[in-house]
Amino acid sequence: MPMTVRRFVRGPKPLCVVTAYDYPSARLADQAAVDAILVGDSVGQVVQGYPDTLSVTLDEMIYHTKMVARAAQDALVIGDMPFMSYQDSTEHALVSAGRLMKEARCAAVKLEGGSRMAETVLKMVECGIPVMGHIGYTPQSVHTLGSGRAQGRDLEAARRVLTDALDLEAAGAFAVVLEVMPHRLASLITAQLHVPTIGIGAGPGCSGQVLVWHDLLAMPDLGLRHSHAFAQVGEAALAGLRAYRQAVTDGSFPTIAHSVEMADEIAVQLEQEIPGSPQA
Ligand code: KIV
């Protein structure tokens, strides 16, 4: 039975969240016993090859979330709401989140934005939609946030981020992602909230952490400051692909052991029927 948000709470150990976008990856994440799998709109960058997350559609998020939800047996599955599927009105947010949960069968959704989204989050939660907030650096606002990723570095900005977190919790968010902000601010926010804070580039003082699948497995290794490569999967895959290409081109793969046998009399009969073959 996949986890619901009721079990996604603060405990003695930090919560572990990873993004995944398809069935085999989600199976592995589930087997690794992560607490939650976020089907992030980062799929736009790490899978679809866009420079940002803006082009990802709700239909695409539903497509990816379906695969992950089918794979997860224990982990909480959270579907990310893509750019402009919720920002313009509460009604739109309800329809989009409803589609994600009904069609893709995730147990919760995530959206970006703090205080300005609080009213919408309240309504969603009232309708039975568990919502994870996301503040600090919010990638869907890439064109309004300016060049630096880190948020909340000066006093005014830090106060705003704290207020964002408090407003989301008051609205009923079950957790809040804190992305790329000073670790002291993230620790302070974590101390003020009761719901878990899930950090990415926000230091060790959060209630849990989230990393993007392709970053933590180095597919490829981008050397991101906020991430860490826990395995060199990209290099291993490239070595495997090169070995495969080499074996095909030098004729060492496949051998007849990779195929199936045919009875001698059938092979001989067939060869006799084919004009020009040695048996004909
Ligand atoms: O889309 C995503 O993967 C995210 C995480 C980085 C929090 O929003």
Helix residue spans in the chain (DSSP H): 23-31, 43-46, 58-71, 90-99, 118-126, 155-171, 183-192, 213-216, 233-249, 264-273
Residue 199 in this model has a pLDDT that exceeds 90: yes
Q: Tens digits of per-residue pLDDT, 2-40?
A: 689 999 999 999 999 999 999 999 999 999 999 999 999
Q: Check residue 209 and give its pLDDT.
A: 98
Measured in angstroms, how far is the CA atom of residue 192 from the centroid of ligand 1? Answer: 23
The pLDDT value recorded for residue 275 is: 86
pLDDT in tens, 138-155: 999 999 987 678 999 999
Q: Whose CA is nearest to atom 8 of ligand 1?
A: 40
Gap between the Cα atoms of 216 and 222, Å rounded: 10
Threshold 0.75, pTM exceeds: yes
Residue 279 predicted with pLDDT over 70: no
Q: What percent of the chain has pLDDT over 90?
A: 92
Mean pLDDT across the stretch 100-114? 98
Average pLDDT over every residue of 147-164: 92
d(CA 272, CA 27): 50
Q: Which residues pair with 17 in a beta bridge?
A: 36, 210
Ligand 1 pocket test, pick from 21, 109, 200 with the greatest ligand atom count within 8 Å of Cβ, gives 200
Q: Which domains does the chain have, with CATH numbers?
A: 5-231 (3.20.20.60), 236-273 (no CATH)
| pLDDT greater than 70 at residue 276 | yes
Tell me the mean pLDDT in the region 107-114: 98
Predicted pLDDT of residue 247? 98
